[in-house]
Amino acid sequence: MIGILYVFHGSQKNEKNQAAMEFIQQVETRIDSTFYQATAFLENHTDTIPKVAEEMIKNDVTQIIVVPVLLFAAKHALVDIPAELETVKEQYPDVQFKQTETFGSKSGSRQVLLERFQEVAMAYPDDQLVGILVAHGTKQTNEPQQVLTEIATEIQQQVGFSIIPTSLKGQEDYLEDIKKQISTDQKIVIVPFFLFDGHLITIMKNKLSEAFPKTKFIITRTLEFDARILTDLEGIVKEAITCIQ
């Protein structure tokens, strides 16, 4: 039997983890019901990858498609998830595993991010705007920043004002990137490229207040488990199923 294991990072807030599971339940309804589907978390939840994977195997799953519900292929997707799976592979060498790509570069996320900037542009039609697209980021690989830059360029062409790509934990200092855009004649629009409003967003807002106490930023909503992302995940899962069958 083929099983599909959706993996989230995991939030310190239980309601966010619950929202994540409810989000995946919507994805599950789009996938053939003959496949065994389950959700695990890297942190802050008892449903760990080894625990859930073992439950799947005990329910006769012999092929597991691991779907990182993450925006970019950074440390969690490239290092942490494979490391967690390794213990399961050692215990069950006959089980086949296939990890899919992440979803941040897909069209659903791009549409939501564009919409966030457009909503602000409509609300401030007479103001000069500059956009900041903020992702989690990583120092381990340049690929996430490259994708972020590509998306920012694409959005900039559609909204007609500058979009600066930066990351909270990337190669560059995001506060310095924002500082360069501060002036008296433009408003700064920050769109957090995150699945939901969690701990890191709170930290970012606090740091912005400390670093720029006289500047009022327009900070939009995150992706907020938008339904358009469901289509992206559905496509990723179905493509993996086709490859593994």
CATH, residue 146: 3.40.50.1400
- What pLDDT score does 45 carry? 80
Per-residue pLDDT for 75 more than 90?
no
Owning domain of residue 112? 107-219
74/12 Cα distance (integer angstroms): 20
Give the C-alpha distances (Å, rounded to integers) separating 80 from 4, 46, 225, 228, 240: 18, 16, 23, 27, 20
Report the domain count for the chain.
2
Provide the whole-model pTM.
Answer: 0.92
pLDDT of residue 73: 85
pLDDT-based confidence at residue 112 (cuts at 50, 70, 90): very high
Is residue 170 predicted with pLDDT exceeding 80?
no
Determine the Cα–Cα distance for residues 156 and 64; give it in Å rounded to an integer. 39
Q: Are residues 215 and 165 in the same domain?
A: yes
* pLDDT tens-digit map of 2-39: 999 999 988 777 888 898 899 999 999 999 889 999 99
The 10s digit of each residue's pLDDT in 84-97 is 999 999 999 999 99
- Tell me the three state secondary structure of residue 190: strand
Residue 40 sits in the same domain as residue 97? yes
Same-domain check for residues 119 and 53: no
87 with 114, same domain: the answer is no
31-73: pLDDT as tens digits:
988 999 999 999 878 889 999 999 999 999 999 999 999 999 8
Helix/strand/coil for 192: strand
Dist. CA 245–CA 237, nearest whole Å: 12
- Beta-carbon contacts of residue 184 (< 8 Å; ≥ 6 apart): none
